[in-house]
């Protein structure tokens, strides 16, 4: 018997929140590996959704680019991030010339690069936030933990509040084709 959605959310929250708190506190290589895992899983899901619309992004290049961005952030070499993005753009666009039986080379390239930015670049900011004091010599290297926690907790709290308020008082569907259960009241 499958669990109700609310119980799945509670179980995931109770198990993942302590792990994420520990990773934010530990920082360094542990946070990098966590961010890389999120990038790979997030890009896989993003590119899978694009495939349902007959778009064929270059998944491997997008994932390598995402890992490259996180490594640049971790190594405090974030000046290389625009170059990584440009390389992914140029190589993806060039590779489209040689692909056979593809839909739209423009869409394939666009979705590859947008996924890299939307997932890889954004989630890599957790590493940059965690390093804030270490980069600028303010107080101790633990100050970045607060920035990471704020970046994670605000969306979690807002999402949870929206979910429960939508469950309690939601009557008007927001955009059913995008999210079947989301209501105007919960949003």
Residue 183 maps to a domain: no
**Residue 75 belongs to some domain of the structure:** yes
In a domain, 82, yes or no: yes
Question: Beta-carbon neighbour count of residue 163 at 10 Å?
Answer: 17
Cα–Cα distance between 122 and 116 in angstroms, integer?
9
DSSP tag of 176: T
* Residue range(s) defining the domain that contains residue 99: 5-130
**168 inside domain:** no
Mean pLDDT confidence for 52-71: 96
4: pLDDT strictly greater than 80: no
Q: What is the dihedral of CA 40, 68, 84, 56, to 10 degrees?
A: -20
pLDDT, one tens digit per residue, over 159-174 is 888 888 888 888 888 8
What is the per-residue pLDDT for 166?
Answer: 84
Which residue would you say has higher pLDDT here, 47 or 10?
A: 47
Task: For residues 55-62, give the mean pLDDT.
Answer: 96
The total of structural domains in the chain comes to 1
Across 7-11, 79-83, 103-107, 150-154, least confident range: 7-11
**Residue 172 pLDDT:** 83
pLDDT for 160 equals 84
Question: Does residue 184 sit within a domain?
Answer: no
Tell me if 63 sits within 8 A of 135, measured CB to CB. no
88 domain residue, yes or no: yes
pLDDT at 9: 80
pLDDT of residue 170: 82
- CA distance linking residue 112 with residue 55, whole number of Å: 10
Asked if the structure places residue 36 within a domain, the reply is yes
In angstroms, the CA 121 to CA 20 distance is 19
- Is the pLDDT at 1 greater than 80, yes or no? no
Residue 187 lies inside a defined structural domain of this protein: no
**In terms of pLDDT, which residue wins out, 150 or 46?**
46
Return mean pLDDT, the chain: 89
């Amino acid at each position: 018997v499958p669990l109700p959605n609310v119980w799945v959310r509670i179980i995931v929250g109770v198990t993942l929140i302590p792990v994420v708190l520990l990773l934010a506190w530990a920082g360094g290589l542990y946070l990098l590996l966590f961010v890389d895992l999120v990038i790979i899983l997030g890009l896989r899901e993003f590119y899978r959704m694009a495939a349902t619309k007959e778009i064929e992004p270059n998944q491997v290049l997008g994932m390598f680019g995402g890992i490259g961005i996180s490594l640049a952030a971790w190594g405090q070499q974030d000046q290389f991030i625009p170059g990584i993005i440009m390389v992914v753009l140029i190589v993806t666009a060039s590779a489209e010339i040689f692909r056979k039986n593809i839909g739209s080379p423009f869409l394939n390239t666009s979705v590859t690069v947008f996924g890299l930015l939307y997932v890889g670049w954004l989630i890599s900011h957790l590493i940059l936030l965690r390093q804030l004091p270490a980069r600028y010599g303010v107080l101790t290297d633990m100050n970045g933990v607060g920035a990471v926690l704020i970046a994670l907790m605000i969306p979690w709290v807002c999402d949870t509040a929206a979910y429960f308020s939508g469950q309690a008082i939601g009557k008007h569907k927001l955009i059913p084709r995008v999210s079947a259960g989301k209501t105007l009241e919960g949003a």
